[in-house]
Amino acid sequence: MRQSLELLIDRYQKNLFAAAFNVCANAQDAEDAVQDTFLQYYSTNKQFNDEEHIKAWLLRVAINKAKDAARRYRWKNTVSLEDLTEEIPFEDPEAESFFDEVMRLPEKYRVAIHLFYYEDMAVKDIAQCLRISEGNVKMRLSRGRDLLKERLTEDDDNDRSGKIQKCG
């Protein structure tokens, strides 16, 4: 099965960008990874089983290209999280705060959480995409959630204690 490149770009460009951005944490590199992914799709003769197979393949390629970009980028530069969040528009401060916490997670947890929650991929599909076992995906999701919960709870406790001290 093959689909037109235009259709795939319309359907998956935003998803691929989000996945790539979660890996390389740089908008320009994420855009490059997405473009390179679509170029690779266009130039390959690979046949796919169905729509889900195409989506999983595109995500895997985009993530791998973003990893390559991140490796190159880390050799040259470092970017603060504050500069990074300026590149993405947020609807409200809570969304930005949550994004900051997700971006502070180690890459392996961050990518698994993105694919599961934002791409609605099943554990089995994430395992195939990342080429790891299903048990490893479950472990990454669990540890990533635990880290997020811990960090968000700490922030919440700090906010509450600061408000109590200000009131007293």
Give the whole-angstrom CA distance, residue 57 versus residue 64. 11
Report which secondary-structure segment, H or E, holds 94.
helix 93-104
pLDDT tens for 87-134 read: 556 667 777 777 778 888 998 999 999 889 878 889 998 998 888 999
Query: Are 56 and 12 contacting, i.e. CB atoms less than 8 angstroms apart?
Result: no
- Is 90 exceeded by the pLDDT of residue 48? yes
1-88 under CATH 3.40.50, yes or no: no
Q: Taking the domain 92-168, which CATH number applies?
A: 1.10.10.10
Q: For the chain, which residues make up each domain, given as ranges?
A: 1-88, 92-168
Q: Which of helix, strand or coil describes residue 113? A: helix
**Token digits of residue 92:** 């409200």
pLDDT at residue 85 above 60?
Answer: no
The answer, as to whether pTM is greater than 0.75, is no
| Rounded alpha-carbon distances, angstroms, from residue 96 to 6, 84, 162 | 31, 11, 21
The predicted-structure confidence for 13-42, as pLDDT tens digits, reads as follows: 999 999 999 898 888 999 999 999 999 999
